[in-house]
Amino acid sequence: MTRRDALIGVIESLHAEIAALKANDIAGLERATSDKLAAIDSVARLGTGPAGPELRELAEEANRLNETCRIYVNLMAANVRRRLQVLTGEAGTFCAGTDLGTQQTDNNAGRSGRPRTATRFRDGHPQRRWPGGEPGHGRFVGLHQ
């Protein structure tokens, strides 16, 4: 067996591993992982001499496929973690940059929903307040025309 053949074996087992992850096939995943580890051992036994362009390309492909497997596993783990949080009541609401504690305090005090941030005209555009009453009069503060 050559290093090229061993790397092709790694790539084939990685493809099988990805297929097993997608299908949620535990037995298939076990087989593919075992085959992958055996193929990696074969590559290691064949030595670490200089690699030509074809071997480097095969090694890069194996690395890309391995990263794909890692991403699948991480996504599955995050999905399970989120489901467990929901089941145990530990899943909080997430809104980036929003302090929900203040909003909940306002809601408990009888004020529901988000505070209004701008008065709107009938056409749905926000009403702009211009110093001096109209655009172009007075000093323009913080808005772009």
Q: What is the pLDDT of residues 100-126, one digit of tens each?
A: 566 667 666 766 555 555 455 555 555
> Is residue 144 over pLDDT 50?
no
What span, in angstroms and rounded, lies between the C-alpha atoms of 9 and 36?
7
In a domain, 132, yes or no: no
What span, in angstroms and rounded, lies between the C-alpha atoms of 9 and 7?
5
Indicate the range of 24-38, 65-79, 89-103, 124-138 predicted with least confidence. Answer: 124-138
Q: How many CB atoms lie within 10 A of CB 93?
A: 7
> Is residue 48 over pLDDT 90?
no
Q: How many CB atoms lie within 10 A of CB 140?
A: 13
In a domain, 7, yes or no: yes
What span, in angstroms and rounded, lies between the C-alpha atoms of 117 and 111?
14
In a domain, 49, yes or no: yes
Written as one letter, the residue type at 92 is: G
Place of tokens 């890692």: 70
Q: How many CB atoms lie within 10 A of CB 33?
A: 16
What span, in angstroms and rounded, lies between the C-alpha atoms of 111 and 93?
19
In a domain, 113, yes or no: no
Domain, as residue range, for 61: 3-88
Number of domain units in the chain:
1
User: What's the pLDDT score for residue 124?
Assistant: 55
Indicate the range of 60-64, 79-83, 133-137 predicted with least confidence. Answer: 133-137
